[in-house]
Amino acid sequence: MRQSHELPLVGFLLFSLIPRQLCEICAVSKTSYTDLNPLINTMINSEYTKGIQAANVLLSLRLAGILNQNQEQQLIQQVKRNVDYKPSNLTSGQFALGILALGTCKNPDATSPDFPDLVRKLGNKFQAELKNMDKHNGNPLTNYYQLSLDVLALCLFRGKYPINKVAEIFNPKNENFYFKKQFSVDTGAMAVLALTCVNNTKNWQEKTDTEALKNIRSHIKSLIEKILSHKKENGLLGNIYSTGEAMQALFVSSDDYNESEWNCQQTLRTVVMEIHKGAFRMPTAAAQILPALMGKTYLNVNKTSPCVYGSGNFNISTVEPITATPTLTPLQIEVNYSVVINSNTYSIMVCVANGSVFLNVMEAAQKKNETLFSFTWENSSWGPYITSVQGLRANNNDRTFWELLSNGKPLDQGAGSYVVHEGENLEVRWSKY
């Protein structure tokens, strides 16, 4: 670790990576800040804004300069409690996200985290990911999205990481960038942010491998091309949930594509419309889109810069915590639910309240037949995540997971947020990615 007096220069250099004009054009104007109120209130009031999940929200709101000091302190305490006292319970990406959130700007009190120690622990977690990749055919303990968070945090906070290995594993041809042979836009975008940081901090390395850095620059350009190839007619990049991070990646890579390849204003208009349609009911989804709408990226993280406070034109309310589950009505609907394991299919018809989510259907099926429809789940930043069905557990090393589908099509929402409808054919399928 280098002395802290060098860090203001780090912040300046990283800020200079961002094409300011593009960010200003894309940012929501102050007169339209009220369009963002649903995002902010979701982040602050959701029941999922707890524990390490608070890191996403803290990072986003601090970058946007929206929180007041009291709200910020509550979130800081939750994040610190996890990174300081429960590091072994966190994945590498969760730990990295906690560091990024705590280091977004200078903490307002004297209880500043011990960043050198946190970064050292993150370095150990990253090394564990690399060792697992060596043992299990290139598969990390988690996934490439989390590995990108690891590299980004290590880069921003002057941690140790092997540049040669980073250049090797983040090759865009690597299968870890793909989910069921489909390029993952948000994973690619997070990798762009991490690699951009590495590329622009090369002068701080004691030994610079020019070939590795050349490969990193090539990877950035290739990833940007892949992101833009998944641009929709309405301007979304991938889907609504990957668009925010994809926008950040495009902000810091304007030299790698032509202005005509991306209509930023169109993307912005579509996202704002989706906000009013209720697309961002999960705090993580809201947190991932907000920085880009404010013209910010994760490369703006700088623990020596003063935090900006004040809600301005935002309407931040504090109410009883809300969940991602919509209000239920007394009316019942009937859906078909199936568990598919290889060539075996187990189906059942269940009745649930109108407005129920996928998880409610799974619970109803389990009550009817626990042998065939038993399942387990764990809470994640995106809400409930299905870990096993019939005792069969998902495994990163085997690249297996439980896929949620409706009428044969994979869902882009989780079990706790997808609202089911009368007559739907819902399915959890044992799958490989």
Q: Reduced to 3 states, what is the DSSP secondary structure of residue 10? A: helix
| Domains of the chain and any CATH numbers | 4-300 (1.50.10.20), 332-432 (2.170.130.30)
Residue 402 among known ligand-binding residues: yes
Determine the pLDDT at residue 176.
93
- Closest to 252 in 3D by CA, of 217, 281, 279: 217
Determine the pLDDT at residue 6.
31
pLDDT tens figures, 10-63: 333 343 444 433 433 578 888 888 999 999 998 988 776 777 789 999 999 999
Residue 69 among known ligand-binding residues: no
Residue 433 among known ligand-binding residues: yes
pTM of the model as a whole: 0.82
Residue 186 among known ligand-binding residues: yes
Q: In what order do the strands lie in the sheet with 332-341?
A: 344-353, 332-341, 425-432, 400-406, 409-410
Determine the pLDDT at residue 108.
64
Determine the pLDDT at residue 376.
96
Residues of the chain with pLDDT under 70: 1-25, 48, 108-111, 202-208, 310-330, 381
Determine the pLDDT at residue 236.
97
Residue 144 among known ligand-binding residues: yes
Determine the pLDDT at residue 109.
65
Residue 404 among known ligand-binding residues: yes
Rounded Cα distance between 101 and 295, Å, is: 18
Residue 337 among known ligand-binding residues: no
Residue 176 among known ligand-binding residues: no
Residue 411 among known ligand-binding residues: yes
Q: How many CB atoms lie within 10 A of CB 349?
A: 11
Residue 143 among known ligand-binding residues: yes
